[in-house]
Amino acid sequence: MNTEESGNLRVLNWLFKPAGFLMESRLRQWLMNPVKTLEGAGIETGQTVLEVGCGTGFFTIPAAKLLGDEGRLVAMDPLQDYTRRVSKKVESAGLKNVRVVKRDALNTGLNTASMDMVLLFGVIPFPSLPLNRLLPEMHRVLKPQGSLAVWLFPVSGLVPKWILEPGLFTFVGKRNGVYNYRRC
Ligand SMILES: C[S@@+](CC[C@H](N)C(=O)[O-])C[C@H]1O[C@@H](n2cnc3c(N)ncnc32)[C@H](O)[C@@H]1O
């Protein structure tokens, strides 16, 4: 069974419920301002952005608002429970620039060179997102000179170096806790 199929399993969705609760808790909102983190990624109005592993949408709604009506956000996650929750939030916020996609980011199905930016926020390191498969797919969907923005949770000192190893991205700088890379 692949990641996408397992995202439909009731037991898995049930197991991830407490994580979902923590992801959108008031404590997190209090500790972390999602807009500040998105600004650290250099997100700009009118861009087309892929958010990998949107979870319960902690970053999705603020990102869509920053992108504005001219921008586009693809919020991707394989877990059915999470994508349903994010779709509801998008609808209640009246946002028309978000497409919530229930899919494995190792095989996004998105067009080549279609994204200005990819957000990897709180998704690496993660067992179902091995860098040796994730990075080539992110490189494929990004436009030339597109940006890869990484906010690490848990903080893992080696990951920023591992991202550089395949030679697909160069490091641009770190802002508001976000590691920024450019597609080679
Ligand atoms: C720790 S959560 C972070 C969620 C969100 N980015 C946040 O910071 O609130 C990791 C997320 O990655 C998703 N995920 C795991 N494997 C994935 C894959 N192969 N493709 C896309 N998303 C994946 C999980 O379902 C989960 O929602």
pLDDT in tens, 72-82: 999 999 999 99
**CATH no. of 3-183:** 3.40.50.150
Q: Quick check: CB of 80 below 6 Å from ligand 1?
A: no
Query: What's the whole-model pTM score?
Result: 0.92
- Count of C-beta atoms within a 10 Å radius of residue 125: 14
Q: Is residue 122 in contact with ligand 1, taking CB distance under 6 Å? A: yes
Going from N- to C-terminal start, the domains of the chain cover 3-183
Q: What is the pLDDT of residue 124?
A: 93
pLDDT at 140: 98
Confidence of residue 181 (pLDDT cuts 50, 70, 90): very high
* Average pLDDT over all residues of the chain: 93
Choose one of 8, 77, 110, 150 to mutate for the ligand 1 pocket test, by most ligand atoms within 8 angstroms of C-beta. Answer: 77
> How remote is the CA of residue 12 from the centroid of ligand 1, in Å?
13
> What is the predicted pLDDT for the residue at 154?
75
Sign of CA pseudo-dihedral 63, 102, 20, 118:
negative
Closest atom of ligand 1 to 57 CA is 9
